[in-house]
Amino acid sequence: MPTRSRIWLLLAIGIVCGVSSLRAQFTTLSWKLTTVGKVRQVLTNMGTLSPAQTRYPGLILCEFPPGSNEEHLFQGGIWIGAITPDGDTLLSETQSHYGFNEFFPSTEKWDTIWTVSKGDTAQIPYWPDYVAVSDQDFVCRYNDYNLLNVQGHTPLYVEIVQTTYSWGSGQLSEFLLHTYYIIIKKIPLKDAYIAFWMHSSVGSVNATDNFIDEYTRYYPKYHMGVAEDSPAGSDGRSYSPIGFSVMTPSDTTLRWSWNYFEHETLPSRGQPVYRVMSSGNIMPDRLDPARAHEILAFGPHQLRVGDTLKVEMAEVFGNGIDGMLKNVEYLQFLKAKDFRVPSPPPRPVLRATAKSHEIHLDWQPQPGDVNPETYSDPYRGDTITQPFEGYRLYKSTKGPTGPWTLLADFDKPGDIDGPNTGLQYQYTDVGLLNNIEYYYSLTSYSMPDRVINFPSQESSITASTRTTIPGTAPPLTVGEVAVVPNPYRGDVAYNSYNPPWEKPSGTRPWWMEQDRRLQFINLPADCEIKIFTLAGDLVNTISHHDPSRGYEDWNLTSYVGQAISSGLYLFTCQDLATGKVQVGKFVIIK
């Protein structure tokens, strides 16, 4: 779950920006990660597509597709430049390479990032009765005047309300739509230009060359700046480029600029950047591999106090350039329909029961559950009132984001859609390894809409993942406690097993020494394990208190955090309920 950090913001600014004047002002800095579609993008209520001053703990900021370990973005965000009534040329940036964060939420505790699911209504203080459009809407608000002592910053006094739409099915899952409502609060702005800053990093996080091998392109038809991984570098060519496409406004009288820069020649803040934004310069595509630093800008806008300027920017991905262009064309179709298109059925409720070497799955709708089979969709072009078609059951041995294997497809019989297997509500997966994580997801899908030629829609796979571990119940007492694997061999790539015996923790994609795994099994509900060297020195102590799980993992480190060496080790396991003790031994070979 995303965290919301209660930060003494002026102190943080003073540390990061060298500000000496501090005021006792508090605000809530928040981040969220899109999770329903194929794009894993971090967003903040500072207007950035990067962590900014939040405490986002992830290693990847913009992953596509999920589980690929392919990064796409290092920094990104909206900029506003304009001329004030006093003739000053000012720029406010959410994020830039050399500048400081200049947009922040207010001091209200609720001024965080709101999450709303499609069709649900949220009572957001600055947007009452907000109704979600996509499968996962994010809503936040920030301004450039909440903090007046950011180094070198003079505000334009603009407030931005931002929504981000994310869909979980089909082609819709390969892009995000960010909408910015720019509200002029205090002074009129002359010749205002809006820009999007992209500092990309397209490539595998496992690469050794820091992703500095990108092509930089511009597509005037879509007002889209693109960063594409070249075949050079240790990572080869990534699956998808990243594109920022401005869809609104589309006024033909606007002047568009697209410029890229070498890392050392980026313009400084303020007037130099405004000159770039307002230049009308469109640079030629750069097809020599380099890091992409892009500024896509448009204007001028004459804005009065109280005006609201609506800007829509699509963050687009796909299978190579061709897949990206196909998706941005599809976005034009969606925009013509105001993004009101047929949607998948609601996510079904999946229940899992673990047994020894098997997992039983059940999804029979229960009282109080949302029933996917009875949903209706007002945005279909046909006359089908209940377009539910079936369920699909998926399994992964790698992680909660896949890759996924289709276990079963159960759909309504007697029509031309799906395999016509008939609806079922139970499945038992057998032959599993005990004490190993398995991941399951159940989706529901609809009939295609043949009137408007719209394909069948399937609910998000990753949004309904269940993690389940088969195994036996704890024994009544000690006596059969064992260690697996025994011997443990350091020359065996346990992380390459399927399912993996060892895997990275958190969002880290690569295995490290601390991911080693040795397991004590057949543990009673309350017990204590002590591990000793053959000389009798205590290595570590493991406490176990679990009435349903009869095992504990150990990462082969001592109680002071040091990796242990090869050798023969002894262990004792004491049943805390009875006092009974079992003694055993195991071997480590590194």
* Exposed / middle / buried, residue 121 (Cβ in 10 Å: 0-12, 13-18, 19+): exposed
Beta bridge partners of 161: 141, 181
Architecture category of domain 7-336 in CATH? Distorted Sandwich (2.70)
Residue 21: predicted pLDDT: 32
Interacting residues of 45 by C-beta distance below 8 A, sequence separation 6+: 28, 29, 30, 31, 105, 111, 112, 113, 140, 141, 142
pLDDT at 4 over 70: no
Distance of CA 460 to the CA centre of its chain: 14
What is the amino acid identity at position 365? P
CB atoms closer than 10 angstroms to residue 79? 26
Q: Could you state, in order of their start, the residue ranges of all structural domains in the chain?
A: 7-336, 351-468, 482-589
pLDDT at 9 over 80: no
Per residue in 497-511, pLDDT (tens digit) is 999 999 887 767 788
Q: For the residues 537-545, what does the mean pLDDT come to?
A: 97
Band (pLDDT 50/70/90 cuts) for residue 211 is: low
Band (pLDDT 50/70/90 cuts) for residue 35 is: very high
Band (pLDDT 50/70/90 cuts) for residue 27 is: confident
Phi and psi at residue 307, to the nearest 5°: -70, 155
CB atoms closer than 10 angstroms to residue 505? 10
What is the amino acid identity at position 521? I
Among candidate residues 296, 95, 319, 314, the one with its CA nearest the CA of residue 228: 319
DSSP string, 298-363: EEEEEE-TT-EEEEEEEEE--SHHHHHHHHHHHHHHHHHTTT----PPPPPP-EEEEETTEEEEE-
Band (pLDDT 50/70/90 cuts) for residue 24 is: very low
Per residue in 441-485, pLDDT (tens digit) is 999 999 999 988 888 999 988 888 999 999 999 999 999 999 999
Residue 300: predicted pLDDT: 97
Q: For the residues 202-216, what does the mean pLDDT come to?
A: 80
Kindly report which listed range (38-42, 266-270, 366-370) carries the lowest average pLDDT score: 266-270
Residue 264: predicted pLDDT: 67
DSSP string, 170-208: GGGGGEEEEEEEEEE-SS-EEEEEEEEEEEEEEEETT-S
Q: Which residue has the tokens 């997992």?
A: 359
Residue 352: predicted pLDDT: 96
Kindly report which listed range (1-5, 52-56, 153-157, 509-513) carries the lowest average pLDDT score: 1-5
85 versus 417: the higher-pLDDT residue is 85
pLDDT at 7 over 50: no
Size (the chain), residues? 590
Please give the Cα distance from 80 to 153 (Å, whole number).
13
Please give the Cα distance from 13 to 29 (Å, whole number).
12
Among candidate residues 202, 223, 209, 199, the one with its CA nearest the CA of residue 292: 199
Residue 577: predicted pLDDT: 96
Class of domain 351-468: mainly beta
Residue 463, both tokens = 């949004």
Q: For the residues 246-270, what does the mean pLDDT come to?
A: 86
Residue 328, both tokens = 């941005």
Per residue in 289-299, pLDDT (tens digit) is 888 899 999 99
Shared fold status for 351-468 and 482-589: yes
Residue 404: predicted pLDDT: 94
Percent of the chain with pLDDT over 90: 71
pLDDT at 538 over 90: yes
CB atoms closer than 10 angstroms to residue 250? 11
Q: Which sign, positive or negative, has the C-alpha torsion 535, 541, 544, 549?
A: negative
For the domain spanning 482-589, the CATH number is 2.60.40.4070
What is the amino acid identity at position 561? G
Please give the Cα distance from 167 to 554 (Å, whole number).
39
Please give the Cα distance from 226 to 221 (Å, whole number).
13
Q: What's the Cα-to-Cα distance from 178 to each of 38, 124, 182, 514, rounded to whole Å? A: 16, 18, 13, 39
Per residue in 317-359, pLDDT (tens digit) is 999 999 999 999 999 988 888 888 888 899 999 999 999 999 9
Residue 425: predicted pLDDT: 97
Q: Which residue has the tokens 């209200």?
A: 108
Residue 295: predicted pLDDT: 96
Per residue in 556-571, pLDDT (tens digit) is 999 999 999 999 999 9
CB atoms closer than 10 angstroms to residue 171? 16
Residue 41: predicted pLDDT: 97
Beta bridge partners of 312: 179, 248
Residue 209: predicted pLDDT: 65
Do the beta carbons of residue 240 and residue 266 sit within 8 Å?
no
What is the amino acid identity at position 226? V
